């Protein structure tokens, strides 16, 4: 890195160890209030900064990118998903984009399994029953749920997180199935005793649980819609820890109300932070406030990846987590 420190603007408050290290290494402007940047603030930031460090709450559109000054060199995203960044527009301007893959895999898979346990075992209903004074002692037929053992789990997206979910689900003696754009290969299928389904519409009717672990792209927008929800068993459960836009939230609400599926667990939402009003208050859904990577360990490791990507770039090397645009 040259003697002149790069000017870095961070759009949200990050873990204190990450911010302390950034202060030591860079000329950094932090967001002490943690208030999400407006469109105008993002435009102002890219007109000043050498490096922008956005998060999933920032819409780094082509308009924002095209307003950037010539000094902007790098968009070092704090997060693995980059669907909130117009990567093609950044490439057209000659800017580099990086992300933070890998370090949030286990924590996101843990949340997936937590939801997969909590919904069929009616854990939230049980907590509410205790709080409401409805628990009058154990009896044989009250608050019965559904076991995971022997159930078929359909994983949509067998990448890092999908495989981590498969590993955990196998430990619960679930039968692993998955849908991907292509087979994950004999090695992965053998490790998890997993069955590949090329046709998602053929897989859905056979599954007892469906876990969404795919990235959000134009091709996965509303991947789970009214038609596909109708293909699922009325006893099936749907879990989403990927991106909210992958599910048609209005259609899901109607399916849960009608009993088309048995239940759902969501950690992400289509219009986050707004949740579809028909989902609120339903007994057969658990809603979490985007906790997938929400551990001290994961968020700190994400920050360290951001720092490494910035350092590597300004040391005239290729950043380890460079995002390759679709147009390349």
| All residues at 6 or more sequence positions from 175 whose CB lies less than 8 Å from its CB, including other chains | 150, 151, 152, 153, 193, 195
Paired residues of 74 in beta bridges = 51, 96
| All residues at 6 or more sequence positions from 126 whose CB lies less than 8 Å from its CB, including other chains | 143
Distance CA 44, CA 47 (A): 5
Q: Which residue has the tokens 């259609």?
A: 251
Q: Which of 19, 48, 254, 272 is catalytic?
A: 272
Tell me whether residue 177 is one of the annotated catalytic residues: no
Tell me whether residue 32 is one of the annotated catalytic residues: no
Which helix (DSSP H) or strand (DSSP E) does residue 297 occupy? helix 296-314
The two three-digit tokens of residue 239, written as one number: 């879990």
The two three-digit tokens of residue 129, written as one number: 């029953």
Q: Which of 84, 93, 121, 290 is catalytic?
A: 290
Tell which phi-psi region holds residue 183, choosing left (phi > 0), alpha (psi between -120 and 50) or beta.
beta
**Is 236 in contact with 259 (CB distance < 8 Å)?**
no
Closest CA to 62 of 91, 29, 20, 23: 91
Distance CA 84, CA 2 (A): 31
Question: Where are the extended beta strands (E) located within 233-284?
Answer: 237-240, 263-266
Tell me whether residue 290 is one of the annotated catalytic residues: yes
Q: Which of 122, 168, 179, 243 is catalytic?
A: 243
Tell which phi-psi region holds residue 47, choosing left (phi > 0), alpha (psi between -120 and 50) or beta.
alpha
The two three-digit tokens of residue 274, written as one number: 């707004």
SS3 percent helix, strand, coil of the chain, rounded to 5, is: 35, 15, 45
Distance CA 15, CA 53 (A): 14
Question: Where are the extended beta strands (E) located within 148-197?
Answer: 152-156, 175-179, 195-197
Please list the active-site residues.
Answer: 243, 272, 290
């Amino acid at each position: 890195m040259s003697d002149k420190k790069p000017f870095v603007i961070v759009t949200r408050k990050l873990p204190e160890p990450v911010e302390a290290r950034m202060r030591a290494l860079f000329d950094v402007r932090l967001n002490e209030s943690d208030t999400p940047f407006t469109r105008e603030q993002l435009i102002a930031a890219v007109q000043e900064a050498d490096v922008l460090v956005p998060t999933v709450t920032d819409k780094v559109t082509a308009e924002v990118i095209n307003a950037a000054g010539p000094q902007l060199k790098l968009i070092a995203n704090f997060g693995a998903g980059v669907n909130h960044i117009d990567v093609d527009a950044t490439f057209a301007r000659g800017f580099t984009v990086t992300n933070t893959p890998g370090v949030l895999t286990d924590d996101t898979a843990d949340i997936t399994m937590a939801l997969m346990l909590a919904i069929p075992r009616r854990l939230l209903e049980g907590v509410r029953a205790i709080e409401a004074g409805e628990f009058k002692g154990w009896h044989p037929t009250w608050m019965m749920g559904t076991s995971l053992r022997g159930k078929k789990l359909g994983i949509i997206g067998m990448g890092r997180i999908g495989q981590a979910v498969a590993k955990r689900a196998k430990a619960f003696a679930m039968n692993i199935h998955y849908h991907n754009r292509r087979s994950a290969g004999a090695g992965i299928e053998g490790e998890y005793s997993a069955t590949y389904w090329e046709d998602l519409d053929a897989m859905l009717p056979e599954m007892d649980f469906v876990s969404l672990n795919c990235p959000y792209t134009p091709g996965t927008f509303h991947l789970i819609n009214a038609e596909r929800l109708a293909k699922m068993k009325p006893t099936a459960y749907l879990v989403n820890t990927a991106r909210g836009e992958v599910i048609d939230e209005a259609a899901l609400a109607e399916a849960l109300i009608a009993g088309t599926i048995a239940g759902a667990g969501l950690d992400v939402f289509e219009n986050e932070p707004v949740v579809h009003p028909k989902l609120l208050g339903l007994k057969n859904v658990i809603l979490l406030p985007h906790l997938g990577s929400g551990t001290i360990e994961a968020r700190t490791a994400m920050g360290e990846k951001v720092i490494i990507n910035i350092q590597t770039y300004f040391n005239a090397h290729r950043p380890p987590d460079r995002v390759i645009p679709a147009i390349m």
